[in-house]
Amino acid sequence: MSFFSKIFGGKEKDTGPTPGEAIQKLRETEDMLYKKQEFLEKKIEEYTLIAKKNASKNKRVALQALKKKKRLEKTQLQIDGTLTTIEMQREALEGASTNTAVLDSMKNAAEALQKAHKNLNVDDVHDIMDDIAEQHDIANEITTAISQPVGFNDDLDEDELESELEKLEQEGLEEDLLKVPGPTELPAVPTGAIAKPVKPAAKKVEDDDDMKELEAWAS
């Protein structure tokens, strides 16, 4: 007998109520007791009111009402205890029912896994994965081969291209140096007649003034 068969009772016939039926019965009993408590609460309030009204007028009636009130309160306490016991039993059954459902699901899952793995072999799985990896490698090689240009660079010499590129760079540098202004560039030589410098007129004016002063003194 398997582990799950032992848990679920194997082939033994179960004549008792199911956990669901027992839980439902306990809930019905709880509802009935709650209704009885509500009835007792109303009767206790009624006898309390009678005792208050007859406390000074009719003590016998007041005492009888108090006695009934006490008996109802005692019954109410007993019902409280019963409800607590029923609630604990119901919670225990609900927990057991949940556990049973969980174990049943686990049992079904274990059987499904066993059925799924029935026709599988670990070595076969490894072989399949190796085949998949090999096909991926082949696909990558094909993609690389297709992506490479064909027939364009066969006649080109890399060293020759590098040499030509260096010459072009050198020519560019020389042209840039010729364009830079500096002390090597001299101003253009004039080709026309050179103009003579003009003497300032201030000296002539000064001489004229001296001659006038001399003539005035001589006369």
- pLDDT tens for each residue of 43-53: 999 999 999 99
pLDDT at 169: 78
Look at residue 188 and tell me if it is in a domain: no
Q: CA-CA distances (angstroms) from residue 34 to 29, 46, 55, 77, 86?
A: 9, 19, 31, 12, 12
**Calpha distance 33→85 (Å, rounded):** 12
List the Cα angle 81/83/86 in 5-degree steps: 110
Tokens standing for 21? 């039926």
pLDDT at 72: 95
Number of domains, the chain: 1
Look at residue 214 and tell me if it is in a domain: no
- What is the CATH number for 84? 1.10.287.1060
Give the pLDDT band of residue 188 (cuts 50, 70, 90). Answer: low
Look at residue 34 and tell me if it is in a domain: yes
Look at residue 98 and tell me if it is in a domain: yes
- pLDDT tens for each residue of 92-120: 999 988 888 899 899 999 988 888 888 87
pLDDT at 43: 94
Look at residue 167 and tell me if it is in a domain: no
Q: Which domain holds residue 54?
A: 17-122
- pLDDT tens for each residue of 147-186: 876 655 556 677 777 788 788 878 777 777 776 665 555 5
**Nearest alpha carbon to residue 32 among 77, 86, 91, 70:** 86
Look at residue 9 and tell me if it is in a domain: no
Sequence-distant (6+) residues with CB within 8 A of 83 are 30, 33, 34, 37
Look at residue 74 and tell me if it is in a domain: yes
Tokens standing for 212? 């006038």
pLDDT at 196 over 90: no
Look at residue 215 and tell me if it is in a domain: no
Q: What is the pTM of this model?
A: 0.44
